[in-house]
Structure 1
């Protein structure tokens, strides 16, 4: 037991959890022994997990795991036929006991509330699925989703899956170029979007950005538009179709059958930024991502039938689909919130949590850092007695906001489930299980079924020092490669050590078995929980006519956890740098969204480069943060690091 633990479950609490009850059923009363069994015999573990989650099959699987193609390409539940829509919605809608239970709650920015029972949600999914079939969507077609957090977003996801098509969601705050990049990578046939949404009491238009994205995406044949705001919007006859018209087109047709799909058939493509090049399309299957999400929510976070799961997120980030499948497969209600946590007042997130009786709330450290300054009094105005757990993901914590949330908001009663994994994981690698004590900012265990190690640079396990987070056995939910890029997938995760998934996080495991994530071991930026490849920012900056090249790093920030700092080389000496900086900032906001704008752009004479002309971001970052840059022998121009070091000193002096 760590000396740093601050939350301690008593025996009655432990015995009330789904995890403990399942362990007992399997003959375990000691968590550590159970965890060891979960990683020693992964076939047994996932077979039992499927049973305890109540997953139903059109055709039972004949073998749990086939590794004939090696650990990088596991085949799960061979011979089994399933469809996630049945396990998430239809089976609850078909039962008299659960048909009228609330499946989905939506609250708008201005306080409007809509609820759907499982029965009602199923009816809407059927209508949308019929409409998609009428529009010519077939099994295997890809549909991009560029939507705010509204009920139609979930209905669209489910309708697409029901007929065996594949959906690919993009962050609602992206600009047209970022959306188009993802549409083109997926070769999507259709885009589903909205006219706009409300944010902080103001209307945010989406259709204009969607139109620009489609203009850059030759594969798109149809654009379906949900009229959330009922505004006048540009309309292209023959291509654009309103959501209402889509629903009408399917209403008079015969019933639509939920397609019985092989276990490894793709469900969705989740695009995540890489350190170089275009985003990576993680391929997730009907019995991959949804089962891992449901397991982590149900067994690790104790989400039960009748609970209400509320995660403040966007469908373009991994936690959006996690919210949908993690909640619904467990028979819980899911709560979608269109607005922002501090509008119109700093208590909005607590007000929404209380009003809808959320049992589980998901937030990010960035959000809590921004709410701290307003004081805990805003949280105390609301009844949070139904709140059983607070989940946290997106980025590493620092102790002060964690303790503020635990002590001042949760009154030391509500456990904080620190949860870290990734888009390619389908959920968590590390977490806080509720049968063990929890400490500030740390993780008390790998998620069961995840064989986790911390390796030094030679591939040896280490305790008490920083190392690479690795996984040595496959798991349900592991990405089935990258869409049309199998070699890139293997290179991204499997190149460092044989048959070992290297995740890209620096981690310390202490003597008591607690884990702390210290940051990314690659160049990926993590801005307020949103992963961003530096190449995405750099490629936008060099579009400016006066910018020759650019380099981007992430540096710590008190509010967002990490922010982007950009360095640009200009084409001439006597240029208006203030004007260029403003134009470059606007260009980034326009292309990928205001939320991902850099904190600062510095103009430099040159960037640190290797002899083969590769910009060395590690050297930029070390210089700017005034840290030891390590071996710079491969640099062609080491003097550039000192120039950047001076900029960093000046930047932090002014803060």
Structure 2
């Protein structure tokens, strides 16, 4: 069918269909799903209105959607008054969930028996009280009001969602900056937003090391003149600099707050900004994506039900960091809106051993797991025994997020982790969409599952795969993934991108001229059943002798070789072919880099992808430069290969990886006598 499309070198199983006997009551035929989907688009506004009415509004909305003040910026549910903090807390506290556990938090340190030294359990009532007390401080001590802006620079500790919910309660707009970011990255974001207050911590644990977060924050503040005050959470009890009159310890502030403090949630316009989250672009400067209270809440409510099939007895574990959009939507707001018990964990997935996540699953009886393909492939390297030594019988549903999942990683989750009992999905969405738009939906009806697919678009979502002119491409042919009409949760008023409505219009709506489609920047293919398979970024495509080759596809081929753990492919100029691929490869344990293996890998690519895609050179390294969320920074790999300036490296997890890539390339150049 169409082109020979692959993910990480693995053919996509378009015709494989898996149905789980233990989910038979939810099974549906693909044709039935598309019929329901068609109805949701035909009566589009009434469909989304019906979902929105399931939430608690202070004032009912008057319309479903209308145009905003700038092109392609839409107001969802205008006229309605709502507050996401109320949805996440107050309505549960008023009912039987008051004393239900909302969060189980596990710190990274463990004792001699392998058990966590720190576990905190917060009921909905506990969380509600803490959020009210922090909101009291923000409003009474620092005078924050609706529309004011703050930055939150905290690790994965309970105070992070508490501050997010407290700010939301007041209508204060926040930006969360991932605690792994450098001072430069923090400063860029806080300065762009115009934050007047920063929330941070003295430090936190990462892989057994103490990270002195307040020191990093102090350096950032030097170049953010808008920040007048700093609240510091005492996580580790470190001795840190505290500027007199500017910096305040949270625990000392709380001593002056009544235990029963109550701050009424602001009755906010549906389109009022909830947060601004900055996402990296290929051009370097982070883009501040605005999400609102109303439309965003509706999308999260729908996707928690449809995609995760949530039940009141579920124990839900999303392995993301709250500093990323997955954590905002599916650790903080989504689970709390639905009244779930959610687990979140401070540390690294393989610290102190590769079974840390599986021990968490066993310890708390996790039933829903939401994780990333990068983490899955990393844990696969350690073998199956680390998984099998733990009881995973409570798991009933698994989804992945963040990038395409290659079929072999999908099968490992399905066959090894959940022993063929669980639907395993690959959700597609991005910072800009706010929530999941394409996925299997076990909570609605379960279409046959295909290993590695994202699945059909969710109800009410008009997604398609098109060519550069916006025309739908035939099944099996690669094209651009677009969303053809507005959706709740999309970038919100006033400007879509903070302070840059022109950039918002240009980046997301003018790539396909004259159509008004939301351009995702992803490359995808549709199969004959209409399932969508996202196969990588559209801006990560090589053009070799006129042939378009996705870097992700080529990396997939290399990773499918028994010796390869990870791979990064970039294009470099070639006088004859225009561009040729080169590859940086991390080998699995037990394999040594040598010329014979290099030639074997080239032949592997030739056999499994085609001669046109054979890398001109393969370099062996022990690590690749990745963002702190685990994504390979191909831009840096390419810059090293091209000898170009590296640009912004503040999102790097390990700066030494850049040096290693650079050294490998320089040694190759010297070996050719060009150095």
TM-score (norm 2): 0.77
Q: 1:167-219: per-residue Cα shift (whole Å, max 9, x none)? A: 10011110000110001111111111111111222212111111111111111
Q: Give the drift of 1:98.
A: 1.1
Q: Which moved more, 1:515-524 or 1:208-217?
A: 515-524
Q: Deviations over 1:198-251 (max 9, x none)?
A: 122221211111111111111101111101001111111111111112323433
Match for residue 491 of structure 1? 506
Alignment match, 1:56? 56
SS at the partner of 2:338?
Answer: coil
SS at 1:336's partner residue? Answer: strand
Corresponding residue for residue 34 of structure 1: 36
* 2:454 aligned residue (443, 457, 460): 443
Q: In structure 1, how many angstroms separate the alpha carbons of the residues matched to 2:295 and 2:416?
A: 38
In the alignment, the residues of structure 2 paired with residue 649 and residue 454 of structure 1 have an alpha-carbon distance, to the nearest angstrom, of: 44
Encode CA deviations 1:475-509: one digit per residue, 9 max, x unaligned.
11001101111111001101123211111000011
**Residue in structure 2 matched with residue 594 of structure 1 by the alignment:** 653
Q: Output aligned runs, 1:590-629, within 5 Å.
A: 591-595=650-654, 599=658
In the TM superposition, what are the counterparts of 1:338-487 in structure 2 within 5 Å?
338-434=346-442, 435-462=446-473, 463-480=475-492, 481-487=496-502
TM superposition shift of 1:396: 1.5
List gaps (5 residues or longer) in structure 2. 1-11, 110-115, 543-549, 553-580, 587-623, 625-629
1:125 aligns with 2:131: yes
Give me the whole-angstrom Cα distance separating, in 2, the residues matched to 1:563 and 1:29.
40
Q: Please list the CA deviations of residues 351-388 of structure 1 after superposition, one character each: whole Å capped at 9, or x if unmatched.
A: 11221122211111111111112211211122212211
Q: What value does the CA root-mean-square deviation take over the aligned residues?
A: 3.3
Note closer, same or farther for the CA distance 1:305–1:527 as it changes in structure 2 (3 Å cut): farther
1:130–1:253: 8 Å Cα contact kept in structure 2? Answer: no
Shift of 1:647: 6.1
Deviation at 1:298, TM superposition (A): 1.8
Answer with 55-64 or 302-311: which moved more: 302-311
The residue that corresponds to 1:13 in the other structure is 23
Contact 2:13–2:451 under 8 Å retained in 1: no
In the other structure, the counterpart of 1:89 is 89
Match of 1:44 in 2: 46
Q: CA deviation at 1:39?
A: 2.1
Cross-structure match for 2:599? none
Tell me which of the two structures has the higher relative contact order, counting C-alpha pairs closer than 8 angstroms and 6 or more residues apart: 2
The 8 Å contact of residues 301 and 417 in structure 1, kept in 2 or not, is answered as no
Asked if the contact 1:177–1:592 (Cα under 8 Å) also holds between the matched residues in 2, the reply is: no
Q: Does 1:510 align with 2:527?
A: yes
What secondary structure does 1:483 align onto?
A: coil
Q: Distance in 2 between matches of 1:224 and 1:291?
A: 32
Alpha-carbon distance between aligned partners in 1 of 2:669 and 2:537, rounded to the nearest angstrom: 23
| Pairing of 1:634-653 with structure 2 (within 5 A) | none
Residues 394-433 of structure 1: CA distance to partner in whole angstroms, max 9, x if unpaired? 1122222222221122211122120111111011232122
Measured in 2, the distance between the counterparts of 1:314 and 1:243 equals 22
Q: Which 5+ residue runs of structure 1 have no aligned equivalent?
A: 529-552, 571-576, 605-623, 625-642, 651-655
2:571 is matched with: none
Shift of 1:512: 2.2
CA distance in structure 2 between the partners assigned to 1:235 and 1:447 by the alignment:
49
Q: Which shifted more, 379-388 or 241-250?
A: 241-250
Is the contact between residue 309 and residue 360 of structure 1 (CA under 8 Å) also seen in structure 2?
yes
Number of residue pairs aligned between Structure 1 and Structure 2: 563
Rounded Cα–Cα distance in structure 1 between residues aligned with 2:396 and 2:367: 5
Contact 1:365 1:561 in 2 (8 A): no
Task: Tell me the distance in 1 between the aligned counterparts of 2:262 and 2:224.
Answer: 33
Contact 2:455 2:533 in 1 (8 A): no
SS of the residue corresponding to residue 427 of structure 1 reads coil
Q: How does 1:256-271 map to 2 (within 5 A)?
A: 256-271=263-278
CA contact (8 A) 1:2 1:512 kept: no
1:413–1:557: structure 2 CA closer, same or farther, 3 Å change rule? farther
- 1:267-278 equivalences under 5 Å are 267-278=274-285
User: Which one is further off, 277-286 or 126-135?
Assistant: 277-286
- SS at 1:224's partner residue? strand
Counterpart of 1:101? 100
Residue aligned with 2:632, SS:
strand
- 220-229 vs 199-208, greater mean Cα deviation: 199-208
> What are the within-5 Å matches in structure 2 for residues 69-468 of structure 1?
72-95=72-95, 97-110=96-109, 111=116, 112-134=118-140, 135-251=142-258, 255-322=262-329, 323-434=331-442, 435-462=446-473, 463-468=475-480
- Residue 109 of structure 1 and its aligned partner are, at CA, apart by 0.2
Whole-angstrom distance in 2 between the partners of 1:344 and 1:263: 44
Tell me whether 1:567 sits opposite 2:639 in the alignment.
yes
- Cα distance, 1:84 vs structure 2: 0.4
Secondary structure of 1:66 counterpart: strand
Relative to structure 1, the CA distance from residue 310 to residue 281 in structure 2 (aligned partners, 3 Å threshold; closer, same or farther) is same
Aligned to 1:522: 539
In structure 2, the CA distance between the partners of 1:568 and 1:388, relative to structure 1 (3 Å rule), is: closer
Post-superposition CA distance 1:100-124 (Å, at most 9, x none): 1111110000211100111111000
**3-state DSSP of counterpart to 1:258:** coil
Distance in 2 (CA, whole Å) between partners of 1:408 and 1:599 is 34
Partner SS state of residue 122, structure 1: helix
